Amino acid sequence: MTAATAQWLTRSFPASGGPLSAALCEIQARQAAAVAARLRYPTAMDAELVGLAGPGGAARLDGITGTEGLGAEPWRTWVDEVVASWAACLLSDADLAARAVAALGPGHGEYRRLVSPDPTDTRAAALLRHPDLLTSVAALHRESLLARLEEGPALAA
């Protein structure tokens, strides 16, 4: 689900430049999706349940971004709308990203490219991090992300 959501983000807001830019953009999308997924599904039980039920797919997100009809690839059914929205929030707001990573608690990995991207990261993911472009996706579930962050550290998944 995290990989599919990150893939949706990078296909909807692609990197500018060559293979290095594409790789840096993908890393940032994966980090944002991973943080969002850990916040959304904080326990092992939550993660198992979404794995059984499925996250819902990319259809609504495609409609919002104007990319509907791009294809019926199987991975698209594993995109989680809430995780994509939360990831968009994190990618477009560095302070919010730092709060989200802090809410995970210690021992949940390194998210430097998400929290403090260097100029090369920023250039590579110019579309992926552009607040105006991400607004429609980020606004879908921003309030639930803010509410989740008010709850404190996430339970370990």
3-state DSSP percent of the chain in helix, strand and coil, to 5:
70, 0, 30
Please report, as a single letter, which amino acid is at residue 128.
Answer: L
Render each residue's pLDDT in the chain as its tens digit; 157 residues: 999 999 999 999 999 889 999 999 999 999 999 999 999 999 889 988 988 887 889 989 998 988 776 667 889 999 999 999 999 999 999 999 999 999 998 776 789 999 999 999 999 999 999 999 999 999 999 999 999 999 876 554 4
DSSP state of 72: -
Nearest to 127 by CA among 45, 26, 38, 14: 14
Count CA atoms closer than 13 A to 66's CA, side-chain side: 4
Q: How many CB atoms lie within 10 A of CB 60?
A: 15
Give the per-residue pLDDT at 105.
Answer: 83
Give the per-residue pLDDT at 106.
Answer: 79
Give me the residue label for tokens 């477009």. 92
The Cα 138–Cα 33 span in angstroms is 13
At CA 43, angle to CA 107 and CA 149, rounded to 5? 70
Task: Please give the model's pTM, rounded to 2 decimal places.
Answer: 0.92
Give the per-residue pLDDT at 55.
Answer: 85
Give the per-residue pLDDT at 155.
Answer: 55
